[in-house]
Chains A and B, each alone.
Chain A
Amino acid sequence: MDEFIVRALIAGSLVAAVAGLLGVFVVWRRMAFFGDTLSHSALLGVALGMLLNIGFMVGVVVSTLLVGLILYSFQKQKRVSNDALLGILAHSGLSMGLIALSFVETQINIEEWLFGDVLSVTWQDVLTIAAVMALVVSIMWWLWSPLLALTVHDELAKVEGVNTNSVNLCFVLVVALLVATAMQVVGALLITALLIIPATAARNFAKTPEQMALIAAVIGVLSVVCGVGASNWYDVPAGPSIVMASTVFFFSSHLGRRLL
């Protein structure tokens, strides 16, 4: 096996497994559009990272957190619906990102950021991704119970002593960290797919919240293996192949459940 395939498999699997772990909450809390908004506006972060010379990852984390904060502060008012607000931020973030990228002097391939290029990750990238994913998993370990209580019913959780504001903020932070790493694997436009497709497929087999997260992580990893394999054999783009593989898992999980 070529070494670049090994790197792609490791980087992709790490990101997809963690995406499964976070994705279950995105599904339970009906935040699919929220994921889209964070990841689309991450393109602005890429541009900022390059323009300010702070690296794209820092740029993406900062811009994603910023969008998350704007969303939370706007949620308190009721004049603009949440749905419309998400749409406004998603598309303005994407547009601002594309405009800002046109100012970047060095030659860049926008398609790489929109759809990812996991086959070109370096060992250095793999290490960074592994470190960030380890950080996300440890935050999630600590966050799990309060986040689950809040997901089931936020007011009940609040009365029972969960600090809902800081838990929500931490969740936005881990999603931002995931978006920043997943940019390289499936790109800004397809990150939400990694969050929601494996998680939804896992629902058919899970009896507890923890099982669902673990199964989602496994389906995510299998999707990366199949997607990167297909990309290698048929010479098709890797990011979209990973997403298609997870979609196949999703439909077969429904079929499998009917047959069982």
Chain B
Amino acid sequence: MTNSDKILATLNHVNLTHGSRQILQDVSLSLEAGKVLTIIGPNGAGKSTLLRVLLGLQQADCGDVKLRDGLSIGYVPQSISIDNNLPLNVQRFVALGGNAGSVPEVLAMLKIEHLKDAAIQSISGGEFQRVLLARALSRKPELLVLDEPAQGVDVMGQGELYDKISTLRHEYGFGVVMVSHDLHLVMAKTDQVICLNQHICCSGVPDDVSRHPEYHRLFGDMPDTGLAVYTHNHDHTHDIHGNVVDSDAKGCNHG
């Protein structure tokens, strides 16, 4: 399936430790144009760190990160606070992304034109997420990197937001990599899922409705609301601390 022309970025055997704590362990993945890759995992699993390594904001201890030459990236970071002393409205904030000409278009696309003259500090968290996405899209990105893009967005809006991202990637053909907690909403719109807990526990194609006992053990902090997750088979088990217990390892490569 993998077409080398469509590869936007690859990570090869990336490792990162912070002090004595292993943050990322032998993580490899590749991102393709027109595909959505979602990274899930418990708190502290290294999801945001993985995105930061991909973006070059943080250095891996070993392993390499390759981005296609001249790749244009749209990034939605996890949280932003802007000093109240800075007089900045929404359309100016979006224009700071470097493509002022496309601002009206992206604001309309995400249905936030009414916010264009609002002070950036005055809009709600959910509105801010859409504004950040607008800024990322205004750059006509080839790769969209989203760190929990729907945080603070109401439940109705979340579905809409993921729908939008999915439709737009078909329309413009950009690749998407995102960290998300909204499993039930995001699964249907995702081509590939990686579950990360320092290492890649498993990766695969999401399924519509499935409950998996392994999954629940790994994501014990997720509310059990009977929402759809995806079927996959772990090729290893975790002990009570979440460490990998090597069974007949295949596919996963734990160092």
Chain A contact residues, CB within 8 Å of chain B:
27-30, 145, 148-149, 151-153, 155-161, 199-200, 203, 206-209, 211-212
Contacts and interface: CB of A to CB of B under 8 A. Distances in A.
Contact of A159 (B57, B86, B92): B57
Given A160-B75, A160-B98, A208-B92, A155 B86 contact: no
Interface stretch (B9-17, B29-37, B76-84, B225-233): B76-84
Contacts of B73: 159-160
B55 A30 contact: no
B123 to A, nearest CB: 14
Interface residues of B, number: 22
B85 A203 contact: yes
Interface of B: 55-57, 73, 75, 77, 80, 82-83, 85-89, 92-93, 96-98, 135, 139, 145
A244 B98 CA distance: 40
Given A206-B87, A209-B87, A211-B87, A153 B77 contact: yes
B57 A158 contact: yes
A208 B55 contact: no
Given A152-B82, A155-B77, A208 B96 contact: no
Contacts of B145: 159
A230 B87 CA distance: 33
B87 A212 contact: yes
B8 to A, nearest CB: 14
| 9 nearest A-B pairs in the assembled complex, by CB-CB distance | A159-B75, A206-B87, A28-B86, A149-B96, A27-B85, A203-B85, A28-B83, A159-B55, A153-B80
A156 B83 contact: no
A27 B92 CA distance: 19
6 contacts: A152-B96, A158-B57, A159-B57, A159-B73, A203-B85, A207-B87
Given A145-B96, A158-B57, A209-B87, 17 more contacts: A28-B83, A29-B83, A30-B83, A149-B96, A152-B88, A152-B93, A153-B77, A153-B82, A155-B57, A156-B80, A159-B75, A160-B73, A203-B85, A207-B87, A207-B89, A208-B88, A208-B89
A218 to B, nearest CB: 16
A152 B98 CA distance: 13
A209 to B, nearest CB: 6
A151 B77 contact: no
Contact of A151 (B55, B75, B86, B135): B86
A157 B57 CA distance: 11
